[in-house]
Amino acid sequence: MAKEIGLGALLGTIIFLAFNQVDIWPLVLLLGIGVMLFSSGMMARLQTGMNRKVDATATPLVTFQDIGGQRAAKNELIEALDFVLRPRAIERLGIRPLKGILLTGPPGTGKTLLAKAAAQYTESVFLAASGSEFVEVYAGVGAQRVRQLFRDARSLAKREGRQSAIIFIDEIEVMAGRRGQHQSHLEYDQTLNQLLVEMDGMATHEDVRILVIAATNRADLLDPALMRPGRFDRLVRVDLPDREGREAILALHTQNKPMADDVDLAVLARETYGFSGAHLESVCNEAAILALREGNDRITMAHFKAAVDKVLLGEKLDRHLSREELRRVAVHEGGHAIIGELVNPGSVSSITISPRGMALGFVRQAPDDDRLLQTVSELQQDIKVLLAGSTAERILLGEQSTGAANDFEKAWEIARRMVLTGLSSLGVVHEEGLSPEVLYRAVQEIIDQAQADVTALVTAHQDAIWRLADELLEKETLPGEYVRQLVA
Protein backbone atom coordinates (compact mmCIF):
# COMPACT_ATOMS: atom_id res chain seq x y z
CA MET A 1 0.00 0.00 0.00
CA ALA A 2 2.89 2.40 0.76
CA LYS A 3 4.37 1.77 -2.70
CA GLU A 4 1.06 2.55 -4.42
CA ILE A 5 0.70 5.81 -2.46
CA GLY A 6 4.27 6.83 -3.26
CA LEU A 7 3.90 6.20 -6.99
CA GLY A 8 0.62 8.10 -7.04
CA ALA A 9 2.16 11.08 -5.27
CA LEU A 10 5.11 11.08 -7.69
CA LEU A 11 2.80 11.01 -10.71
CA GLY A 12 0.78 13.89 -9.31
CA THR A 13 3.96 15.91 -8.73
CA ILE A 14 5.09 15.33 -12.32
CA ILE A 15 1.77 16.54 -13.72
CA PHE A 16 1.89 19.62 -11.49
CA LEU A 17 5.45 20.51 -12.58
CA ALA A 18 4.59 19.95 -16.24
CA PHE A 19 1.82 22.56 -16.03
CA ASN A 20 4.35 24.97 -14.52
CA GLN A 21 6.84 24.39 -17.42
CA VAL A 22 9.48 22.62 -15.31
CA ASP A 23 11.80 19.97 -16.80
CA ILE A 24 10.12 16.70 -15.81
CA TRP A 25 12.25 14.12 -17.67
CA PRO A 26 14.41 13.19 -14.64
CA LEU A 27 11.23 12.56 -12.67
CA VAL A 28 9.75 10.52 -15.56
CA LEU A 29 12.86 8.33 -15.51
CA LEU A 30 12.49 7.91 -11.73
CA LEU A 31 8.83 7.01 -12.14
CA GLY A 32 9.67 4.36 -14.74
CA ILE A 33 12.21 2.76 -12.44
CA GLY A 34 9.64 2.72 -9.64
CA VAL A 35 7.02 1.06 -11.85
CA MET A 36 9.50 -1.66 -12.87
CA LEU A 37 10.41 -2.40 -9.25
CA PHE A 38 6.74 -2.48 -8.23
CA SER A 39 5.81 -4.84 -11.08
CA SER A 40 8.68 -7.22 -10.30
CA GLY A 41 7.56 -7.36 -6.66
CA MET A 42 3.99 -8.14 -7.65
CA MET A 43 5.11 -10.89 -10.01
CA ALA A 44 7.30 -12.41 -7.30
CA ARG A 45 4.39 -12.42 -4.85
CA LEU A 46 2.07 -13.93 -7.47
CA GLN A 47 4.61 -16.62 -8.38
CA THR A 48 5.09 -17.47 -4.71
CA GLY A 49 1.33 -17.88 -4.29
CA MET A 50 1.04 -20.13 -7.34
CA ASN A 51 3.92 -22.37 -6.33
CA ARG A 52 2.69 -22.95 -2.79
CA LYS A 53 2.76 -26.66 -2.07
CA VAL A 54 -0.01 -28.66 -0.48
CA ASP A 55 0.74 -31.37 2.06
CA ALA A 56 1.89 -34.50 0.26
CA THR A 57 2.81 -37.63 2.17
CA ALA A 58 3.19 -41.32 1.61
CA THR A 59 0.45 -43.70 2.68
CA PRO A 60 -0.87 -42.69 6.16
CA LEU A 61 -0.63 -45.24 8.96
CA VAL A 62 -4.38 -45.22 9.62
CA THR A 63 -6.58 -48.23 8.91
CA PHE A 64 -10.33 -48.77 8.96
CA GLN A 65 -9.85 -50.84 12.13
CA ASP A 66 -8.63 -47.66 13.85
CA ILE A 67 -11.98 -45.96 13.21
CA GLY A 68 -14.93 -46.90 15.36
CA GLY A 69 -18.63 -46.14 15.13
CA GLN A 70 -18.93 -45.67 11.36
CA ARG A 71 -19.71 -49.16 10.13
CA ALA A 72 -22.10 -48.11 7.35
CA ALA A 73 -19.80 -45.33 6.11
CA LYS A 74 -16.79 -47.66 6.14
CA ASN A 75 -18.61 -50.39 4.23
CA GLU A 76 -19.81 -47.98 1.56
CA LEU A 77 -16.37 -46.43 1.22
CA ILE A 78 -14.61 -49.81 1.01
CA GLU A 79 -16.98 -50.89 -1.76
CA ALA A 80 -16.09 -47.76 -3.74
CA LEU A 81 -12.36 -48.26 -3.14
CA ASP A 82 -12.46 -51.74 -4.65
CA PHE A 83 -12.73 -50.03 -8.03
CA VAL A 84 -9.27 -48.56 -7.42
CA LEU A 85 -7.82 -51.91 -6.33
CA ARG A 86 -9.17 -53.90 -9.30
CA PRO A 87 -8.72 -51.77 -12.44
CA ARG A 88 -8.52 -54.76 -14.82
CA ALA A 89 -11.77 -56.23 -13.55
CA ILE A 90 -13.69 -53.00 -14.01
CA GLU A 91 -12.28 -52.56 -17.52
CA ARG A 92 -13.31 -56.10 -18.43
CA LEU A 93 -16.88 -55.51 -17.22
CA GLY A 94 -17.08 -52.06 -18.80
CA ILE A 95 -17.57 -50.28 -15.49
CA ARG A 96 -16.88 -46.57 -15.38
CA PRO A 97 -14.44 -45.94 -12.52
CA LEU A 98 -15.41 -43.70 -9.66
CA LYS A 99 -13.62 -40.36 -9.80
CA GLY A 100 -14.80 -38.70 -6.61
CA ILE A 101 -16.28 -39.56 -3.23
CA LEU A 102 -17.90 -36.90 -1.05
CA LEU A 103 -17.93 -37.42 2.71
CA THR A 104 -20.59 -35.32 4.38
CA GLY A 105 -21.62 -35.07 8.01
CA PRO A 106 -21.25 -33.06 11.23
CA PRO A 107 -17.80 -31.92 12.41
CA GLY A 108 -15.72 -34.39 14.38
CA THR A 109 -17.26 -37.57 12.97
CA GLY A 110 -14.05 -38.88 11.34
CA LYS A 111 -14.20 -37.75 7.70
CA THR A 112 -10.47 -37.01 7.53
CA LEU A 113 -9.62 -40.32 9.22
CA LEU A 114 -11.75 -42.18 6.67
CA ALA A 115 -9.85 -40.51 3.82
CA LYS A 116 -6.50 -41.50 5.37
CA ALA A 117 -7.72 -45.06 5.92
CA ALA A 118 -8.81 -45.17 2.28
CA ALA A 119 -5.25 -44.36 1.22
CA GLN A 120 -3.90 -47.13 3.45
CA TYR A 121 -6.50 -49.61 2.18
CA THR A 122 -5.62 -48.96 -1.47
CA GLU A 123 -1.87 -48.46 -0.82
CA SER A 124 -2.11 -45.04 -2.45
CA VAL A 125 -0.11 -41.89 -1.88
CA PHE A 126 -2.07 -39.28 0.03
CA LEU A 127 -2.27 -35.56 -0.69
CA ALA A 128 -4.30 -33.32 1.64
CA ALA A 129 -5.48 -29.76 1.07
CA SER A 130 -8.11 -27.39 2.43
CA GLY A 131 -10.62 -25.58 0.28
CA SER A 132 -9.36 -22.22 1.52
CA GLU A 133 -5.89 -22.91 0.07
CA PHE A 134 -7.23 -22.50 -3.46
CA VAL A 135 -8.82 -19.06 -3.03
CA GLU A 136 -6.58 -16.01 -3.44
CA VAL A 137 -6.87 -12.34 -4.32
CA TYR A 138 -4.98 -12.79 -7.57
CA ALA A 139 -7.00 -14.14 -10.50
CA GLY A 140 -5.88 -17.54 -11.75
CA VAL A 141 -3.91 -18.57 -8.66
CA GLY A 142 -6.58 -20.99 -7.43
CA ALA A 143 -6.88 -22.69 -10.81
CA GLN A 144 -3.08 -22.97 -11.01
CA ARG A 145 -2.99 -24.62 -7.59
CA VAL A 146 -5.62 -27.16 -8.65
CA ARG A 147 -3.52 -28.09 -11.69
CA GLN A 148 -0.41 -28.29 -9.52
CA LEU A 149 -2.21 -30.52 -7.02
CA PHE A 150 -3.05 -33.12 -9.66
CA ARG A 151 0.47 -32.91 -11.12
CA ASP A 152 1.92 -33.46 -7.63
CA ALA A 153 -0.32 -36.49 -7.15
CA ARG A 154 0.93 -38.13 -10.34
CA SER A 155 4.60 -37.32 -9.76
CA LEU A 156 4.55 -38.41 -6.11
CA ALA A 157 2.89 -41.72 -6.97
CA LYS A 158 5.50 -42.42 -9.66
CA ARG A 159 8.32 -41.49 -7.31
CA GLU A 160 6.92 -43.82 -4.62
CA GLY A 161 6.28 -46.60 -7.14
CA ARG A 162 2.52 -46.57 -6.47
CA GLN A 163 -0.27 -47.14 -8.98
CA SER A 164 -2.81 -44.81 -7.37
CA ALA A 165 -3.11 -41.55 -5.49
CA ILE A 166 -5.83 -40.10 -3.29
CA ILE A 167 -6.38 -36.35 -3.18
CA PHE A 168 -8.26 -35.25 -0.08
CA ILE A 169 -9.86 -31.78 -0.05
CA ASP A 170 -11.29 -30.73 3.31
CA GLU A 171 -13.99 -28.04 3.59
CA ILE A 172 -14.54 -28.21 -0.15
CA GLU A 173 -17.55 -25.88 0.01
CA VAL A 174 -15.12 -22.94 0.30
CA MET A 175 -13.79 -23.45 -3.25
CA ALA A 176 -16.73 -25.29 -4.80
CA GLY A 177 -19.76 -23.20 -3.86
CA ARG A 178 -22.53 -22.45 -6.33
CA ARG A 179 -21.19 -20.40 -9.24
CA GLY A 180 -22.53 -16.92 -9.81
CA GLN A 181 -22.82 -16.02 -6.12
CA HIS A 182 -19.60 -14.00 -6.06
CA GLN A 183 -20.48 -11.10 -8.36
CA SER A 184 -17.35 -9.05 -7.65
CA HIS A 185 -14.82 -11.88 -7.77
CA LEU A 186 -14.64 -14.66 -10.37
CA GLU A 187 -11.65 -16.34 -8.76
CA TYR A 188 -13.99 -18.81 -6.99
CA ASP A 189 -15.66 -19.80 -10.26
CA GLN A 190 -12.34 -20.19 -12.09
CA THR A 191 -11.00 -22.44 -9.34
CA LEU A 192 -14.11 -24.63 -9.43
CA ASN A 193 -14.03 -24.79 -13.23
CA GLN A 194 -10.45 -26.05 -13.12
CA LEU A 195 -11.38 -28.75 -10.58
CA LEU A 196 -14.23 -29.89 -12.83
CA VAL A 197 -11.88 -30.07 -15.82
CA GLU A 198 -9.25 -32.05 -13.90
CA MET A 199 -11.82 -34.57 -12.69
CA ASP A 200 -13.21 -34.98 -16.20
CA GLY A 201 -9.74 -35.74 -17.51
CA MET A 202 -9.09 -38.70 -15.22
CA ALA A 203 -9.30 -42.07 -16.99
CA THR A 204 -8.58 -45.73 -16.30
CA HIS A 205 -5.71 -45.98 -18.80
CA GLU A 206 -3.53 -43.47 -16.94
CA ASP A 207 -0.32 -44.69 -15.34
CA VAL A 208 -1.56 -43.29 -12.01
CA ARG A 209 -5.18 -43.69 -10.97
CA ILE A 210 -6.40 -40.67 -9.02
CA LEU A 211 -9.38 -40.65 -6.67
CA VAL A 212 -10.63 -37.37 -5.21
CA ILE A 213 -12.14 -37.58 -1.73
CA ALA A 214 -13.72 -34.41 -0.36
CA ALA A 215 -15.27 -33.61 3.00
CA THR A 216 -17.90 -31.05 3.96
CA ASN A 217 -20.61 -30.42 6.52
CA ARG A 218 -22.48 -28.08 4.14
CA ALA A 219 -23.27 -30.19 1.09
CA ASP A 220 -26.18 -27.86 0.30
CA LEU A 221 -23.70 -25.12 -0.68
CA LEU A 222 -21.93 -27.14 -3.38
CA ASP A 223 -22.32 -26.40 -7.09
CA PRO A 224 -24.63 -28.93 -8.82
CA ALA A 225 -22.05 -29.54 -11.56
CA LEU A 226 -19.72 -31.04 -8.99
CA MET A 227 -22.33 -33.55 -7.85
CA ARG A 228 -23.29 -34.98 -11.20
CA PRO A 229 -22.26 -38.57 -12.14
CA GLY A 230 -18.70 -38.67 -13.44
CA ARG A 231 -17.35 -36.31 -10.82
CA PHE A 232 -18.42 -37.04 -7.26
CA ASP A 233 -20.18 -40.33 -7.92
CA ARG A 234 -20.68 -41.39 -4.31
CA LEU A 235 -21.99 -39.41 -1.38
CA VAL A 236 -21.07 -41.14 1.87
CA ARG A 237 -22.93 -39.90 4.94
CA VAL A 238 -20.76 -39.83 8.07
CA ASP A 239 -23.25 -39.33 10.90
CA LEU A 240 -22.89 -39.06 14.65
CA PRO A 241 -22.27 -42.54 16.11
CA ASP A 242 -25.05 -44.52 17.76
CA ARG A 243 -24.67 -46.17 21.16
CA GLU A 244 -22.78 -49.20 19.82
CA GLY A 245 -20.58 -46.91 17.78
CA ARG A 246 -19.82 -44.72 20.79
CA GLU A 247 -18.85 -47.77 22.83
CA ALA A 248 -16.52 -48.92 20.03
CA ILE A 249 -14.92 -45.46 19.81
CA LEU A 250 -14.45 -45.33 23.58
CA ALA A 251 -12.81 -48.77 23.48
CA LEU A 252 -10.35 -47.54 20.84
CA HIS A 253 -9.42 -44.41 22.77
CA THR A 254 -8.96 -46.24 26.09
CA GLN A 255 -6.70 -48.99 24.77
CA ASN A 256 -3.57 -47.23 26.00
CA LYS A 257 -5.05 -45.95 29.27
CA PRO A 258 -5.03 -47.77 32.64
CA MET A 259 -8.64 -48.01 33.81
CA ALA A 260 -10.10 -48.97 37.16
CA ASP A 261 -12.39 -51.95 37.56
CA ASP A 262 -15.51 -49.77 37.97
CA VAL A 263 -15.27 -48.30 34.46
CA ASP A 264 -18.20 -49.45 32.30
CA LEU A 265 -17.91 -48.25 28.71
CA ALA A 266 -21.47 -49.36 27.93
CA VAL A 267 -22.83 -47.01 30.61
CA LEU A 268 -20.51 -44.25 29.42
CA ALA A 269 -21.71 -44.72 25.84
CA ARG A 270 -25.31 -44.40 27.04
CA GLU A 271 -24.53 -41.14 28.83
CA THR A 272 -22.76 -39.52 25.86
CA TYR A 273 -25.77 -39.33 23.54
CA GLY A 274 -25.11 -36.88 20.70
CA PHE A 275 -21.31 -36.91 21.09
CA SER A 276 -19.12 -37.15 18.01
CA GLY A 277 -15.94 -39.19 17.77
CA ALA A 278 -13.89 -36.06 18.50
CA HIS A 279 -15.96 -35.39 21.62
CA LEU A 280 -15.45 -38.95 22.84
CA GLU A 281 -11.69 -38.73 22.29
CA SER A 282 -11.70 -35.53 24.31
CA VAL A 283 -13.69 -37.25 27.11
CA CYS A 284 -11.06 -40.00 27.39
CA ASN A 285 -8.24 -37.46 27.34
CA GLU A 286 -9.86 -35.22 29.96
CA ALA A 287 -10.56 -38.23 32.19
CA ALA A 288 -6.86 -39.13 32.09
CA ILE A 289 -5.94 -35.51 32.91
CA LEU A 290 -8.29 -35.54 35.91
CA ALA A 291 -6.73 -38.78 37.15
CA LEU A 292 -3.25 -37.27 36.79
CA ARG A 293 -4.35 -34.12 38.61
CA GLU A 294 -5.58 -36.21 41.56
CA GLY A 295 -2.46 -38.39 41.56
CA ASN A 296 -4.31 -41.61 40.67
CA ASP A 297 -2.63 -44.46 38.80
CA ARG A 298 -5.90 -45.54 37.17
CA ILE A 299 -8.83 -43.74 35.59
CA THR A 300 -12.09 -44.32 37.44
CA MET A 301 -15.70 -44.01 36.34
CA ALA A 302 -15.95 -40.79 38.37
CA HIS A 303 -13.19 -39.30 36.24
CA PHE A 304 -15.03 -40.22 33.06
CA LYS A 305 -18.31 -38.73 34.29
CA ALA A 306 -16.56 -35.52 35.32
CA ALA A 307 -14.90 -35.44 31.90
CA VAL A 308 -18.28 -35.75 30.17
CA ASP A 309 -19.53 -32.70 32.07
CA LYS A 310 -16.37 -30.78 31.23
CA VAL A 311 -16.57 -31.54 27.50
CA LEU A 312 -20.29 -30.77 27.44
CA LEU A 313 -20.30 -27.58 29.51
CA GLY A 314 -16.71 -26.47 30.07
CA GLU A 315 -14.43 -26.14 33.08
CA LYS A 316 -15.79 -25.33 36.54
CA LEU A 317 -15.88 -21.60 37.18
CA ASP A 318 -14.68 -19.68 40.20
CA ARG A 319 -18.02 -17.93 40.28
CA HIS A 320 -19.29 -17.52 43.84
CA LEU A 321 -23.05 -17.32 44.11
CA SER A 322 -24.85 -16.09 47.17
CA ARG A 323 -26.76 -18.57 49.32
CA GLU A 324 -30.06 -17.30 47.95
CA GLU A 325 -28.88 -17.66 44.33
CA LEU A 326 -27.62 -21.20 44.99
CA ARG A 327 -30.98 -22.10 46.53
CA ARG A 328 -32.79 -20.78 43.45
CA VAL A 329 -30.50 -22.73 41.11
CA ALA A 330 -31.03 -25.88 43.20
CA VAL A 331 -34.81 -25.51 43.03
CA HIS A 332 -34.65 -24.82 39.28
CA GLU A 333 -32.51 -27.87 38.52
CA GLY A 334 -34.52 -29.95 40.97
CA GLY A 335 -37.66 -29.12 38.98
CA HIS A 336 -35.98 -30.26 35.76
CA ALA A 337 -34.79 -33.51 37.35
CA ILE A 338 -37.98 -34.53 39.17
CA ILE A 339 -40.28 -33.80 36.22
CA GLY A 340 -37.78 -35.45 33.86
CA GLU A 341 -37.97 -38.66 35.88
CA LEU A 342 -41.77 -38.47 36.11
CA VAL A 343 -42.40 -38.08 32.36
CA ASN A 344 -39.46 -40.27 31.23
CA PRO A 345 -38.34 -42.68 33.98
CA GLY A 346 -34.63 -43.50 34.05
CA SER A 347 -33.61 -40.56 31.88
CA VAL A 348 -31.70 -38.45 34.45
CA SER A 349 -28.00 -39.30 34.62
CA SER A 350 -26.75 -36.62 37.00
CA ILE A 351 -27.66 -33.22 38.41
CA THR A 352 -25.32 -30.46 39.54
CA ILE A 353 -25.43 -26.84 40.68
CA SER A 354 -21.72 -26.29 40.06
CA PRO A 355 -21.31 -23.44 37.53
CA ARG A 356 -19.71 -24.55 34.24
CA GLY A 357 -19.35 -22.40 31.16
CA MET A 358 -22.52 -20.33 30.78
CA ALA A 359 -24.62 -22.68 32.93
CA LEU A 360 -25.17 -22.15 36.66
CA GLY A 361 -26.52 -25.70 36.96
CA PHE A 362 -27.25 -28.65 34.72
CA VAL A 363 -29.28 -31.86 34.53
CA ARG A 364 -27.66 -34.38 32.19
CA GLN A 365 -30.11 -36.65 30.40
CA ALA A 366 -29.22 -40.18 29.23
CA PRO A 367 -32.01 -41.66 27.08
CA ASP A 368 -32.44 -45.42 27.00
CA ASP A 369 -32.12 -45.55 23.22
CA ASP A 370 -30.87 -43.21 20.52
CA ARG A 371 -33.93 -41.71 18.85
CA LEU A 372 -34.06 -41.09 15.13
CA LEU A 373 -37.77 -40.25 15.21
CA GLN A 374 -39.83 -38.62 17.94
CA THR A 375 -43.53 -38.99 18.56
CA VAL A 376 -45.94 -36.29 19.72
CA SER A 377 -45.82 -37.55 23.32
CA GLU A 378 -42.01 -37.60 23.35
CA LEU A 379 -41.83 -34.02 22.08
CA GLN A 380 -44.39 -32.94 24.65
CA GLN A 381 -42.29 -34.61 27.37
CA ASP A 382 -39.23 -32.64 26.25
CA ILE A 383 -41.19 -29.39 26.46
CA LYS A 384 -42.44 -30.24 29.95
CA VAL A 385 -38.93 -30.93 31.20
CA LEU A 386 -37.76 -27.59 29.79
CA LEU A 387 -40.60 -25.70 31.48
CA ALA A 388 -40.19 -27.49 34.81
CA GLY A 389 -37.29 -25.37 36.09
CA SER A 390 -39.04 -22.02 35.86
CA THR A 391 -42.30 -23.56 37.14
CA ALA A 392 -40.53 -24.91 40.22
CA GLU A 393 -39.10 -21.44 40.90
CA ARG A 394 -42.53 -19.83 40.59
CA ILE A 395 -44.38 -22.33 42.80
CA LEU A 396 -41.72 -23.00 45.43
CA LEU A 397 -40.01 -19.60 45.61
CA GLY A 398 -42.87 -17.31 44.64
CA GLU A 399 -41.37 -15.85 41.45
CA GLN A 400 -39.31 -16.79 38.40
CA SER A 401 -35.87 -15.55 37.31
CA THR A 402 -34.01 -14.91 34.06
CA GLY A 403 -32.25 -18.27 34.35
CA ALA A 404 -34.93 -19.98 32.26
CA ALA A 405 -34.42 -17.90 29.09
CA ASN A 406 -32.56 -20.67 27.27
CA ASP A 407 -35.14 -23.25 28.38
CA PHE A 408 -37.97 -21.15 26.93
CA GLU A 409 -36.12 -20.74 23.63
CA LYS A 410 -35.63 -24.50 23.26
CA ALA A 411 -39.25 -25.25 24.26
CA TRP A 412 -40.57 -22.76 21.71
CA GLU A 413 -38.39 -24.27 18.96
CA ILE A 414 -39.68 -27.79 19.72
CA ALA A 415 -43.29 -26.58 19.66
CA ARG A 416 -42.67 -24.75 16.39
CA ARG A 417 -41.20 -27.91 14.88
CA MET A 418 -44.31 -29.81 15.98
CA VAL A 419 -46.53 -27.34 14.14
CA LEU A 420 -44.47 -27.46 10.93
CA THR A 421 -44.37 -31.28 10.92
CA GLY A 422 -48.16 -31.59 11.21
CA LEU A 423 -48.22 -32.61 14.89
CA SER A 424 -50.44 -29.77 16.15
CA SER A 425 -54.17 -29.08 16.04
CA LEU A 426 -53.68 -27.43 12.62
CA GLY A 427 -52.82 -30.75 11.05
CA VAL A 428 -50.69 -30.86 7.93
CA VAL A 429 -49.41 -27.38 7.09
CA HIS A 430 -46.77 -25.65 4.98
CA GLU A 431 -44.63 -22.92 6.48
CA GLU A 432 -45.04 -20.57 3.52
CA GLY A 433 -48.83 -20.85 3.76
CA LEU A 434 -48.96 -19.99 7.46
CA SER A 435 -49.30 -16.41 8.60
CA PRO A 436 -47.08 -15.42 11.56
CA GLU A 437 -50.18 -14.94 13.71
CA VAL A 438 -51.57 -18.43 13.04
CA LEU A 439 -48.16 -20.02 13.63
CA TYR A 440 -47.75 -18.07 16.87
CA ARG A 441 -51.16 -19.15 18.20
CA ALA A 442 -50.53 -22.80 17.34
CA VAL A 443 -47.15 -22.80 19.08
CA GLN A 444 -48.58 -20.96 22.08
CA GLU A 445 -51.37 -23.54 22.37
CA ILE A 446 -48.81 -26.35 22.67
CA ILE A 447 -46.77 -24.42 25.22
CA ASP A 448 -49.84 -23.53 27.30
CA GLN A 449 -51.00 -27.14 27.45
CA ALA A 450 -47.55 -28.35 28.53
CA GLN A 451 -47.34 -25.55 31.09
CA ALA A 452 -50.65 -26.57 32.66
CA ASP A 453 -49.47 -30.20 32.99
CA VAL A 454 -46.10 -29.15 34.46
CA THR A 455 -47.77 -26.84 36.99
CA ALA A 456 -49.89 -29.75 38.23
CA LEU A 457 -46.88 -32.09 38.46
CA VAL A 458 -44.66 -29.59 40.30
CA THR A 459 -47.48 -28.75 42.73
CA ALA A 460 -47.97 -32.43 43.51
CA HIS A 461 -44.23 -33.13 44.03
CA GLN A 462 -43.10 -30.03 45.91
CA ASP A 463 -41.69 -32.09 48.78
CA ALA A 464 -39.46 -34.15 46.46
CA ILE A 465 -38.12 -30.99 44.77
CA TRP A 466 -37.40 -29.38 48.18
CA ARG A 467 -35.55 -32.48 49.41
CA LEU A 468 -33.53 -32.66 46.19
CA ALA A 469 -32.68 -28.95 46.39
CA ASP A 470 -31.53 -29.26 50.03
CA GLU A 471 -29.33 -32.24 49.14
CA LEU A 472 -27.84 -30.35 46.19
CA LEU A 473 -26.98 -27.40 48.43
CA GLU A 474 -25.03 -29.80 50.63
CA LYS A 475 -23.36 -32.07 48.04
CA GLU A 476 -23.43 -29.89 44.87
CA THR A 477 -23.64 -32.89 42.50
CA LEU A 478 -25.92 -35.93 42.73
CA PRO A 479 -26.36 -39.06 40.58
CA GLY A 480 -29.59 -39.89 38.79
CA GLU A 481 -30.22 -42.80 41.18
CA TYR A 482 -30.91 -40.37 44.03
CA VAL A 483 -33.54 -38.59 41.94
CA ARG A 484 -35.20 -41.89 41.12
CA GLN A 485 -35.37 -42.76 44.82
CA LEU A 486 -37.15 -39.51 45.56
CA VAL A 487 -39.66 -40.07 42.79
CA ALA A 488 -40.29 -43.65 43.87
Please give the positions annotated as active site.
Answer: 333
In 3-state terms, what secondary structure has residue 368? coil
Cβ atoms of 407 and 389 closer than 8 Å: yes
Residues 56, 126: Cα–Cα separation, whole Å: 6
- Smallest Cα–Cα separation from 196: which of 136, 134, 154? 134
Cβ atoms of 170 and 130 closer than 8 Å: yes
Q: 357: which DSSP letter?
A: T
Sheet holding 477-479, edge to edge: 362-365, 348-352, 477-479
In 3-state terms, what secondary structure has residue 356? strand
Q: DSSP readout, 113-151?
A: HHHHHHHHHHT-EEEEEEGGGG--SSTTHHHHHHHHHHH
| Residues contacting 267, CB < 8 A, separation 6+ | 301
In 3-state terms, what secondary structure has residue 106? coil
Cβ atoms of 101 and 121 closer than 8 Å: no
Cβ atoms of 100 and 212 closer than 8 Å: yes
Dihedral sign for Cα 331, 482, 275, 342, please.
Answer: negative
CA angle (191, 193, 198) in 5-degree steps: 95
CA angle (143, 144, 146) in 5-degree steps: 65
Q: 316: which DSSP letter?
A: B
SS (H, E, C) 82-97: HHHHCHHHHHHCCCCC
Cβ atoms of 388 and 458 closer than 8 Å: yes
Q: 317: which DSSP letter?
A: P
Q: 208: which DSSP letter?
A: S
Residues 130, 112: Cα–Cα separation, whole Å: 11
Residues 397, 186: Cα–Cα separation, whole Å: 62
Q: 291: which DSSP letter?
A: H
